Amino acid sequence: MSLLRLRAALLGPARLRGAGIPWSVLRNYSSASAKEKARRNAICERMELLEVLKARVKQLQASNVPEMTVNKVELAPLGNDKYQDLLQKVVAPGPAEEQPAPRGRGESPARPSNWVEKLKKEMYIRQLKVERKLSIAASRLALEGQAKAKPKRKDKAKAKAKAKKRLKRPKAKVAAAQSQSHTGSHNVCAHSKPRVVAVKEAAKAQRPQRVLENKDSSQHKVLQQTIQSSLECFLFLQQPEEAERFLLLYHRSPVKRRLLNVNAYNIVMRIWARKGCLQHINRLFSMVESVGLQPSLDSYAAALECMGRNQSCTEAIQRCMQQLENDGFHVDELFQKCLFEEDEKEKVLRAIRIVQPSYQLPPPPSPQTCKSSLLRDFYSKEKMVSYPKLDFSVQELQERFQQQLEMELNNTITIESVESTKPLTPQAIKARKLLATLRSQWHDSILQALQKSKHSMSKLKTASRYNILYPYLCLLPDEEYVGIMLQILNTLSPQGESLAVLARELGSKVYNRYITRRKLRSRQLEKVQEIYEDYIHLLAKDSQPDEYLPREYWEKLVAEAGFGPSLNLKDCSWPYMLIMRLGMHMLELLVHAVKVPRNALNPHLEHKLIPVLYHVYSFHSTWQVGLIKPHPIFSQIVSDAAETLLTFNSSAMPMLCPPVPWTSPHFGALVLNDTKLMRFVDGAIQHQLLLEHCPPVNLYPVLDALNQLGNCAWKINQPVLDIIISIFNDKGNEKLDIPPPISEAPRPPATLSSSSTGSKSQKHELLLYKKKTAEMHSLRMDALYKLSIANYVRDKVFWFPHNMDFRGRTYPCPPYFNHLGNDVTRAILLFAEGKPLGPKGLDWLKIHLINLTGLKKRNTLQERLEYANKIMEEILDSADHPLTGRKWWMNTDEPWQALACCMEIAKASRSPDPAAYISHFPVHQDGSCNGLQHYAALGRDLIGAISVNLMPCNVPQDVYSAVAQQVEEFRKKDAEQGVKIAQVLQGFISRKVVKQTVMTVVYGVTRYGGRLQMEKRLKEIDEFPEEYLWEASHYLVKQVFNGIKEMFSATRDIQNWLTESAKLIAQSGQTVEWVTPLGLPIVQPYYRSKSTVLNCSMQNLSVKSSNSNQKPDTVKQKNAFPPNFIHSLDSTHMMLTALHCLRQGMTFVSVHDCYWTHALTVDIMNQICRQQFVALHSEKILQDLSKFMLKKYCRSGRETRAPWQKKLMEQLSNVPKTGKFNLKKVMDSTYFFS
């Protein structure tokens, strides 16, 4: 709860609000009078106006730049400016992290008369700087030309060039800096022509050459990807002439040609192949050879496809196949390595059979088996067992698949909100009618603006004036683009949203719909459907296929399918910056087109159309961030209409059928929507590249574990859900983690309502009020989404497909509602499959209930069971009268899960035979400070192992209490020696004070962070003297670190070894990589970020890019390595447990280090969990890590090894020594997981 509040406070209401949710859900349902509400609204509006005016004053004082003009957002066609050229406008991708936009750039000044002279002066200065820079570039070109022409005088020329460079460098740097700072200068260049035209052309040719020569650079790859994405658009649109014209724009330029690889030519070949135009393909082959490239397998596949369509003569096909073999390929490779769409495979085969009538497709490769020593038994064919069945027939699963497919084809789903609705008032009816009329008008306006924009773009066909966005605006029907823009408008809150977020959302929605259409066009979906209908025989109760894992069975079915399209599409992902640019263009259209009558709510005003959306700047610290905000008139109409529908992307919902099994990094989870196997920030590609280069067999354990987690079926605990919804609609309850509506927010300070002035304390009070309101809104919306989705699937069985982060930690794909949520969410989830409790199941339910209360953490399991039996009366009362009884359940750590467990115990205990009672309830077993458990096992640390329950003990050990005791001993010694702060702290050191720091030490918390944690805990103690807070927290964090070092000596040694190793690796210019014991490759994605500017007519966006061609961030690399490495080990342990539970036919899911199963199988899961922990740490984990890193980072010969390599080699070779703890003792430890 506290974490969610913190997040809400930091992010504000607009950040936590997800995509696709209308603002109409934020309505007042309290008993406050209309008069009171009007008063509050008036105060808030006045304060908002005051804020805007203050921001305006700041802007004018800072740089005399006017605020963005709202009513005059001019939409110059995005193809008229020269910066539209691909080489100048596409830059390296990166996560959308908006930086301060250049103030007022690209906007109309509020007072033109004050700006004319300044603007002219700026234009003149910029022109001079550009010419100076160009002349320097020309001089360099001339020098390089002389150097090449006179090889004999090479050294002399070099010396002269260096001398000139020394003279010119300062000026060049200034010019470069100035040109970068004025990101809006493309407008200037468009209207003024420099005097030195020839020099400019020479510099133009030289500038991109540096980027293009480095073909491994991230920018080069992004430019290549952009070109190929555009060509893929023409392929989708079946426009071969346009594709070839676009290709020739680059092919004919000696500089731009370097951006083309053979894949670009292949795409155009494929378009002509579908048309059966062999002559054009022959010409493209000639073009490929003319630029020094070699045709690839895809080139020959396109040529043979074309010949198959034309049924060309035998001689032509023979020549093609002969050339294919001369280039080192084999005919079989066409079918083994190429990806096909529609009927391409059949046409290639037809062409081959004209020459070789008896040719047969090569047999599928024989399945490989994972060789991991940890999973030898798991993958052993002798020990195979049938895959656990779901309680559904084949027919039922097929029907569920069709429902899921229909939802994904619609892209979005609209559901009823759980918020209670008032009876429709005349005002609401009127507002809804007005809103419907306005939306109809907006639809027509946006459609007209889009068509006008596309028409102007379509005229730009020359190389210098081609608009890269045009094909992307033709992929969908115009109506779909309009629908996407209207959806964004409907979900915009009164607080507004940043341009970067809205642009990313718009661009991504277009991309997702394009992928859906492409899958339909290529018949890939048709093939998935056929295979899935066979695949469900593995899961259905009325079918008995052979013994396969889901991945193995799917691969078998794919191999048997033979003909038809490939299940993986050829890579057609769009660069991140392209998605942003497309989104910005659509946002500009939306802002320009959507208007509302000024007198919509007040008929006495003049009838005048004003924009619904306006562009303003908000100040975040020193950054200036562009926002799109709706006009208050629009927000008021939406609020009055009180609409009760919520719209989500279909990918945000739980699946209505078992997920498609993961078979590769590119394929799995949802039926139609693309899902990444590994989560990473927008624009990052290093993780995906690592997975692609990894041998597929090495990923099998990870894929199989994800499939096991995703195949767990769920259902809703309806009685608990109904109670939660009733409290949610009755003003909420903060104690029970049910957020109240905003109408219950504290009143705004009245002192500022009539005056814009106020004391410092009053302003602070207002700030706290606004912060509290934003926090309440965020929490309320978060709860609303979860409860509404749960209510939508209340009568359904559903599934959560899983993927993972870069460390291997697993997560459900649906973002809002899943079992990783808070206490409320977990309480309303049940396993769809029920199992009898068995002889010990009821006892486990009772122990689980006491664990949820947090009351008996230091007691044995038997004592917890006895306590549960003792309070059975309270348990039954809570189950029978949750809101009217004694409410014992409300005073527990996890009240809602405790209530759900009370209800389950009541049902089971009242059944005729509790052992035979069918229970769907998940019972949890939680690791005891899991990070420290892994450290203690790695270092065989005896004292540490005892503290975290790796050693068998009669009662559970509490590491936090042990550290607190150790710190208290240090304090006593210091107090005796007269240390003042040690004396002040007497009686204040407790488990609660040290717990958070001890818990996070293992995950890399620094002393600075630890001190803040300590200070926060001490502040919560009313009796502690405030003047000693800083000194006391500083002292305590030092003693906690010393205590952990003394108790976990091996742990600190390992942590220091990992940190120092990562530091040296990062200092050498490389990122830290390793491979988990299950074979998953991992790379830390921390680089020095670099801002790049996205030029748009509304505002220039500064976007941080963080990619593998930039230097690693040394501090982040070294600080993050120990916790990330431990996270990768705990995910490995979880996956091993999941796979072995699968072999036992058990239900198993996890929330990181908290494992869930039925009460019947808790004992079996506990045994497997311990076995796999021992097996994992019996591997030589640190030694294997050392070998891997030595091989990767210290590969060169001894005589050529650099000093840093010697130091790194010495560090990596010096693996920390281990203690004498016997790892097998874990098998007998009751409280290891409990």
Which residues, listed in sequence order, are joined to residue 678 by a DSSP beta bridge? 804
- What are the backbone angles phi and psi of residue 678, rounded to the nearest 5°? -120, 125
CA distances in angstroms from 976 to 142, 990, 1038, 1227, listed in the order given = 80, 20, 18, 44
Cβ atoms of 317 and 304 closer than 8 Å: yes
DSSP 141-199: HHHHHHHHH-GGGHHHHHHHHHHHHHHHHHHHHHHHHHHHH-TTTHHHHHH---S-HHH
The single residue of 509, 835, 995, 1063 carrying the catalytic annotation is 995
CA distances in angstroms from 843 to 137, 795, 915, 1064, listed in the order given = 81, 29, 10, 53
CA distances in angstroms from 722 to 731, 852, 878, listed in the order given = 15, 21, 15
Give a three-class secondary structure readout of 604-651: CCCCCEEECEEEEEEEECCEEEEEEEECHHHHHHHHHHCCCEEEEEHH
Which residues, listed in sequence order, are joined to residue 802 by a DSSP beta bridge? 812
3-state secondary structure of 489: helix
User: Can you tell me the distance from the alpha carbon of 859 to that of 950, in angstroms, rounded to the nearest whole number?
Assistant: 17
Whether 1153 is catalytic? yes
The single residue of 85, 782, 877, 1153 carrying the catalytic annotation is 1153
Cβ atoms of 243 and 232 closer than 8 Å: no
CB atoms within 10 A of CB 1095: 24
Closest listed residue to residue 1159, CA positions, set 953, 907, 887, 933: 907
3-state secondary structure of 415: strand
- Structure tokens belonging to residue 457: 């773009």
- Structure tokens belonging to residue 433: 């009618």
735, exposed or middle or buried, with CB in 10 Å at 0-12, 13-18, 19+?
Answer: exposed
User: Can you tell me the distance from the alpha carbon of 772 to that of 11, in angstroms, rounded to the nearest whole number?
Assistant: 12
Q: For residue 798, how far is the Cα from the chain centroid? A: 23
Closest listed residue to residue 680, CA positions, set 507, 580, 498, 808: 808
User: Can you tell me the distance from the alpha carbon of 46 to that of 749, in angstroms, rounded to the nearest whole number?
Assistant: 12
- Structure tokens belonging to residue 819: 């079992």
- Structure tokens belonging to residue 913: 């035979």
- Structure tokens belonging to residue 946: 């005892």
Closest listed residue to residue 899, CA positions, set 822, 817, 828: 828
User: Can you tell me the distance from the alpha carbon of 287 to that of 654, in angstroms, rounded to the nearest whole number?
Assistant: 49
Give a three-class secondary structure readout of 1053-1092: HHHHHHHHHHHHHHHCCCCCEEECCCCCEEECCCECCEEE
Whether 37 is catalytic? no
User: Can you tell me the distance from the alpha carbon of 845 to that of 1111, in angstroms, rounded to the nearest whole number?
Assistant: 53
User: Can you tell me the distance from the alpha carbon of 841 to that of 1162, in angstroms, rounded to the nearest whole number?
Assistant: 8
Cβ atoms of 1165 and 925 closer than 8 Å: yes
User: Can you tell me the distance from the alpha carbon of 33 to that of 35, in angstroms, rounded to the nearest whole number?
Assistant: 5
1217: CB partners within 8 A, 6+ apart: 1050, 1053
955: CB partners within 8 A, 6+ apart: 858, 859, 860, 1231
Amino acid, single-letter form, for residue 766: L
The single residue of 926, 1045, 1104, 1192 carrying the catalytic annotation is 926
Whether 843 is catalytic? no
Looking up tokens 């069975």 gives 553
3-state secondary structure of 1117: helix
Amino acid, single-letter form, for residue 103: R
Helix orientation angle between 576-593 and 478-490, rounded to the nearest 10 degrees:
80
Looking up tokens 């742990």 gives 1051
Q: Active-site positions?
A: 926, 995, 1153
